[in-house]
Every structure is written in structure tokens, then in C-alpha cells.
Amino acid sequence: MKFKEIEFKDQSAKRIYLDYVSRVQHATKVLNKENQQEVLLEINSHIYESLSDYPENGKGEVERLLDSLDKLGQPEVFLKPLVAEKKLDEATKTFNPVKIVKALALNIGNGISYAVFAVLYLLLFGFLFLIIAKIADPQNVGLFYRPNQVFILGYYSKNGISYTAYEQLGNWFIPLMLALAVFFYLLITLLLRLKRTLK
């Protein structure tokens, strides 16, 4: 369905209406075109129905429109949670990490679970950091393990003490960290999608 402007006889009412539509479009610009259109159509429908149901009582178009828009509220405020939810839906369908991070940033204020997911995604960057660190300093980065003595996954730096003999993964460290990063990324994203569908 295509967006169609509501027609007004009063030019002031038309300007107020177009300004409100522009604010709705600006508030939803982070969404894909389909979702932007859907939100705009829904808001437009609310305005049209409100004007149709509103008794004239001697009020002009401008007053009736302003009353309708007051009931809806400021689009920058009331659309914020809806835009955040729709953005998260878009992001989890694509598995694009940049889109997911942006969507989680929009949703941080919508509950503790989104903050938890944001932290989990942040921890994923730890795997990528370890890969880069292993390339930069292969002697001091790895999985160092000796029962009852040492367990280090990552980087260590102690003067005069070397755990190199306890390195367990050697050349397999980078492929394992990469595989874990991919696995946990997919797992967390699927859990986020599941949370979205259960809501």
C-alpha cells in the first residue's frame, strides 16, 4: 500500500500535517524502507480516523488536527520503542553484527535483557582481540594450563616467569578462537531472535 497524504482545505492545517509527517519520517529513518512505510501508513491512518471521528463542534481543521496530533504525541518520543523493536527485528534477520550492535544500542533502555545481550556481543570481541594479540605476541598469548598451577586463556605478562611450556593449543589457538567467535555469535543471535519471537 502506498502512502497518500490527507487532503486539507486549510493551508495551515496542511502545513502542520506535512510537518508532523516529516517528523515521523525522520524518527523512522533508521528502519528499512518497508518498515518506514508501514509506520507512516499506520500513523497516517490514525490521523485520518481521528479527524473523521472527531465532531466538528464549530472547530476548524487546524484545531481538529492539533487535537488529533496531541492525542498521538510527539513522534520522536512515542515512536522510539517501536523503532527500536523493528530495528532489532531487521538486524536479527540479517545476522549483520554492525546492525545488531546498532539495534541493541537503540533497545538498551527497553529492558535488562537487551543490556545482557549487548554485553554478550561485546564479549565476542574478546575472541577477536585474542586472535590479533596472538599474531602480535605469540609467546605470551594462548591457552596456558597446568593442573593446580596455572590456567590462563588469553594474555599474560609476568617479569621473568614464562608459561610457554604450558601452552596447550599452539598453532590451533587462532582457528579455535575464530570458530568459537563464529559459534557464539550465531548462538547469541539465534537466542536474541528467539527472545523476539516469544515476546
Instruction: Provide the pLDDT for residue 83.
Output: 83
The tens place of each residue's pLDDT in the chain, 199 residues long, gives: 788 888 888 888 889 999 999 999 998 998 889 989 999 999 999 888 888 776 666 678 888 888 888 988 899 888 888 888 788 777 777 777 777 777 766 666 566 667 777 778 778 888 888 888 888 888 888 888 888 887 888 777 776 677 777 788 888 888 988 898 888 888 888 887 777 666 5
Instruction: Provide the pLDDT for residue 198.
Output: 64
Residue 127: name the closest of 168, 78, 182 by CA. Answer: 182
Widest CA span of the chain, in angstroms?
Answer: 89
Instruction: Provide the pLDDT for residue 199.
Output: 58
Our CA dihedral for 34, 38, 39, 42, rounded to 10 degrees, sits at 170
With H, G, I as helix, E, B as strand and everything else as coil, classify residue 115.
Answer: helix
Instruction: Provide the pLDDT for residue 26.
Output: 92
> pTM for this structure?
0.58
- Total residues found in the chain within this entry: 199
With H, G, I as helix, E, B as strand and everything else as coil, classify residue 51.
Answer: helix
Task: For residue 152, give Cα distances in angstroms to 92, 140, 163, 184.
Answer: 33, 10, 9, 20
Residue 77: name the closest of 109, 41, 34 by CA. Answer: 109
Q: What is the DSSP string of 159-195?
A: TT---GGGBS-GGGHHHHHHHHHHHHHHHHHHHHHHH
Task: For residue 162, give Cα distances in angstroms to 93, 104, 157, 159, 185.
Answer: 46, 41, 9, 8, 33
The residue whose grid cell reads 502506498 is 2
